[in-house]
Every structure is written in C-alpha cells, then in structure tokens.
Structure 1
Amino acid sequence: MTESTFTFDEEAADFCNSLDVGITIHDSETGIIHHANEYAEDIYGYSKEELNNSNIVEINPGSISQSEFIKRLRAAANGHSQQFEWRVRRPSGNIIWIEMRLSELTVDDHSYVIAAVRDISDHKMDLRYLRLMNRIVNHDFRNKVQIIQGSFNQMDTQTNDNIFNGIRRAIADLVDLTNWANAITSLKHGQKDKKINVRQLLINTVKEYKQKHPEINWEVDCENVFIMGDKSLQRAFDQLIDNAVRHNSHDDLEIIVSASENLADQQIDIKIIDTGDPIPDVEAQPLIHGYDPDPLEDAEQIGLWEVQTIIDTHQGMLTLEENNPELKILKVSLPLADPQ
C-alpha cells in the first residue's frame, strides 16, 4: 500500500485538526504515516513528512523497537486495540512522555491503524513525585521512627552509649529525610530556570570531592556547554558523584566526569564514570528498561530516584550505559541551551 492510495477528505481532516489530541494514521504493515493532524505534529515537534523520513521509532530514546511497534500496529489492525507509553525526543532535545492508543480504521475498504497520542509528561511527573513521597514517608520515616522507639524501649533495662548513639543517628537521618521531602516537593513549584554552565558546575563539584578524597583518581573532561535548569540540577550531579564516592572502595578507584555536545539530538551528554562496584540489579533495572519501580520494594536507596526525577523534570533522561565490575557509566542527557 502506498501513500497515494490513502485519501482523507477535507471535512475529515478539519475534524481531526479540531481535536485536542494527536491523531496519526499509519500503514499497518510498514508504519508509514499517511496523515497527522496539527496537534500530533505539535506534540512530536515534527511534520508528517519529517516523521516518515526519520522513522517515528528513531525519535524515541530506547523506549520501543521498530519491530515491536510494527507488531503492535498489526495487532491493532486485526482488531486488538493497543495502548502503551513511550518517550520521544523532540527537535529541541527535550524528552517527553506520550501515551499512544492504536485502533483499527477502514477507509475505502482499506485497513489502516489510527493512533491517538497525548503528551502525558505532567502526569508522569506527578506520579513520580507521589511515589517518591510515598517511599520517603512509608518506608524511610517509618524505619527511623521504629529505631528510635525500639531504643527507648530498651532504656528501661539498659543504658549505654550505643543506644544513645543509635538514637542520635536515627534522629539525624530523620532530619535528612525531612530535607529530602522538602527538596522533592520543591521540584514541582516555582523554581525558575536559568542558563547553567555545565563545565563550571561539574568542575566546582568535583573540586569539592577531590579536596575531601584526594586518594581517588579524578578526571574531568568537559566541553564549554550550557543547559537551562534550576538549582536542583546541582543536587542531581552531586548525588551521582557522591554515589560513586560513597559506595565504592577507594583503592585504585577512578572517577571520570565528562560533558559534551550531542548536536544530532540537540542535547548535552554528561557522564559519570567510575571503576568501582556495579549498581545492584534491583536499582539498575529501572534505569536500563525505563520503568518506574515499586517505591516500597525495589530499592533501599532513594538517591537515584531523586536524580531520575530531577532529570525528568528538566525533560532529560538518565540511563545506565555500562554496569559491570570493571566499569560503570551513568549518562545524563539534557536539552542543549544556546550559549549566547
């Protein structure tokens, strides 16, 4: 079936353009887009022709393969409607979440697939904030309070420095968790983006850690690149570097921090590389496969959760490129800002 066989009268096209949802009509065998309404072009940031030239799957950063997309199209054409979420990279370098629903469509006795597309980035972020807060309140707060409660119960029968030190540590952890909760809540409200010199930010961050840990072999390789963001990005990069320092033996440990332009995708790629231990599978899988883990079951630490949330807030992406006993590479991709 070729594009010339598809006809869509003016009234139908006007109707599609009036909808507050993206509409694309696909060839069920090849995935070629025969029609895209204006809303769909706005969501993707590409025209129908540009989407066909680049292949719609090519603008998603690892969310779904071409073969899987075609499989879903064919299932929809056979009457089995499909619904799924994926991430797409717009021409600006911004990465957004979209929801796609595929259904069978027949026009002039020809079978097609109609896709309804919505930008669900705000919904995904609201869900992530909620799950993070749920994790902090129901897991971490509860654990620390139970430690304090148990320690006080023991004070009737025994009094020693270990109990009091345990209480002090638990209280300090509770204060830290309160700060985390405030930080997560602040991600949603009122922080104004400004232009950030990534090279300077990373050099300053590494300098602080290098002074505290001179035994580690440090290397910084950053181009003079800029992003738009708020002060939470400082916390994200600090957390990534802190993880490399905190969770590895410092014997022969190397930590490399790099930043470079990715002009093809209009993004900046920032990498935190270390030669320490790999990230545990339970924490690594969400980064590899791009899903939201269960906040109460899937990990003991919330550091990477917070980093992922901050990066998502800035329409970027956190991925784990390597994770083995010899090398660990965490990559942050963020939209490129004009240096002027």
Structure 2
Amino acid sequence: MTGYESLDELKESYQELTPEKWHDFEEEIVENQVIKRGYSDEYEKEYIHKDGTVFPVSLKVWLIEDDDKPMGMWGIVRDITERKEAEEKEEILHSLLRHDVRNKLQVIRGYFELLDDTELSDEQEKFLNKAFKATEEGSEIIEKVKHLRKAQEEEIKEVRLDSTVHKAVDQVRPTAEEQGIEIEADCPGKGCEVLGGSLLDRMFSNIIENAIQHSEGSKIRIHGEIGEDEIVCIIEDDGKGIPDRKKDKIFDQGYTTDKKRGTGLGMFLVKTLLDIYGGSIEVKDSELGGARFDVRLRKV
C-alpha cells in the first residue's frame, strides 16, 4: 500500500507516512478515543507513498496494553482511493445535473410567462397555472436533494439556537403571510448554544413549511423548554393535525400526505439532520388542535 516492505525503512516513525496537516487531528483521536477507551472510531486521513504521492486511507486503531499500561497501538488501514475518486465523480455529475435541470426549468418558466401574456381561455389558464406549479416543485426537489447531499458532510458545531430559529422563521414568513398564517415565535434558550450545523436553520424552516403547506390552520406557534442537557423546541399549529397511523411514517423518504403539493423529502431531511446532530424529533397532537413537533437538541 505504502511502497515500504517494512516500517523499519522509515527514518523516524510511522508518522512520516502522514502529511503534517493531519498530525493534530490524529493526535486528538489518540488522546480522546484510543487512550481513554482503548480504541478509535473509524476515521479518514491521508498517507504518503514511498514515491511521494499522497493517497486517502481509512483507519480504526486499538490500544495495546500490558498490566493496564499503554505499550503501543495497532490498527486496520484501508486504501480508499477508488472510493474517493468515485465519490468525486458522482458529486461532479450531480452538480452538473442540478445545474442543467435548473437552467432548463428557468427556460420553461420564461416561455410560460410569455404565454401568460397572451389571450388564454379559462381552461388554458388553469393548465398554465399547473405547469407553473410543476416547475416550482421541480426546483424545490433540486434544492432538497442538494441539502440532503450536503447533510452527509455536515460538520457538527456549537450554534446559537435563538438566532437560528428566527432565521428559519424569516425564510418562510412571506409564504405564511400569503396564506394568512400567523407565526408566533418565542424561541427557548435565548443566548443558549446547541449542537448543530450550517443546515440547522433549514431543518427548522422545513418543519414550519410543512405546517404552512399541510396544516390548513391559521397559526403556528414556536416555543420550548430548557432542560439540564437538552433544549426542546416545540413547533405546533392549530390545523387539522396528523392521524396517529401516519405519525411514524412522515419522516420516511418519499412519504407525503399530499402528493399534489409535497415532495416527500422535507421531513426526511429534518430527521436526517437531527440524526447527524445527535438530536431527535417527535410528533404529537397539539393543544392548539393541530400537529406538534418536539425537536430535541443537545445543549452545550
């Protein structure tokens, strides 16, 4: 794999195999995982081949002890060059596909707008409105797929909860106002930080959008509870609610209660992101009469 027949060929230690940019990262894994609990999670870094080329590897490391004293480490290393190259090609193809489809949708919408300026019968107006809606849904699917792919690479970090929730509300408020829906946001944990990431606001806006599209209510209320180790952010509405038989299904990929307006990706993205952040979500009946979503996030 490395071009060396034995580690004895190295001038100093096995660390010569690792580019310097990975040294701090690997030292942290050794200190916080291997030394503390005796093994590491599987992680990725790079090795330097004997000929000087750099290639990606994945490792899992175990501690060697003698009478409870650390004596060394051993590990399993895999060359993941082919996998990384395949992932890179896949990302390029997906990026091109999203770009091309989005451009085609814009062209179609442009022609629809020109057609809308002509004299149309009531039936033709009806068909044109359906076509407009289909292009909007196509763009929405592209955005949600993009966020789903980005979620797999999401980096967990400390995030201000109140500003994140207010950002999500600002994103969807115009749509809510168009449909006569009031959003009341009394965010829990002002100034508190939770474990999240760059898509945490998108997670909240998807839940609120779901209520706007499907609740048939007139009010959405956001509030919460602060615990010792977690913050529960509650999003509820005064709409028609969600039947018990459907509560466990709404987070499944592709599931939607309204195929005319839903893509089946929004709530799946919510669950995917919360799994990454170490959080959770539960759907209940709201005291307002509609649905209630309890989002649990780890408090920092």
Which structure is richer in relative contact order (CA contacts within 8 A, separation 6 or more)? 1
Q: Give the TM-score taking structure 2 as reference length.
A: 0.49
Return the index of the structure with the highest Cα Rg.
Answer: 2
Q: Give the TM-score taking structure 1 as reference length.
A: 0.44
